[in-house]
């Protein structure tokens, strides 16, 4: 998308279903997908945690 301005895959789905249907259909593919999503979001999550003060929430 960065180079072409076009999505890398059809956001509305394909004959095999949406991207999420495909990932959730196979446990190994789902594990790979979720691991990748966790890895991608870890850096921004750390950066946000450093910028914003910690807020403690009481359980009571």
| Average pLDDT of the chain, as a whole number | 77
Secondary structure (3-state) at 57: coil
* Buried/exposed 21-32: b ≥16 CB within 10 Å, e otherwise: ebbeeeeeeeee
Taking the complete model, does pTM exceed 0.85, yes or no?
Answer: no
Look at residue 2 and tell me whether its pLDDT is greater than 60: yes
Look at residue 12 and tell me whether its pLDDT is greater than 60: no
pLDDT (mean) for 18-42? 87
- What's the pLDDT score for residue 27? 92
Q: Decide: 21 and 15 in contact? Cβ < 8 Å.
A: no
Look at residue 60 and tell me whether its pLDDT is greater than 70: no
């Amino acid at each position: 998308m960065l180079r072409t301005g076009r999505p890398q895959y059809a956001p509305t789905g394909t004959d095999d279903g949406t991207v999420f249907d495909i990932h959730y259909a196979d446990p190994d593919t789902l594990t790979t997908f979720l691991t990748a999503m966790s890895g991608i979001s870890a850096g921004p999550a750390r950066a946000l945690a450093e910028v914003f003060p910690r807020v403690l929430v009481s359980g009571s």
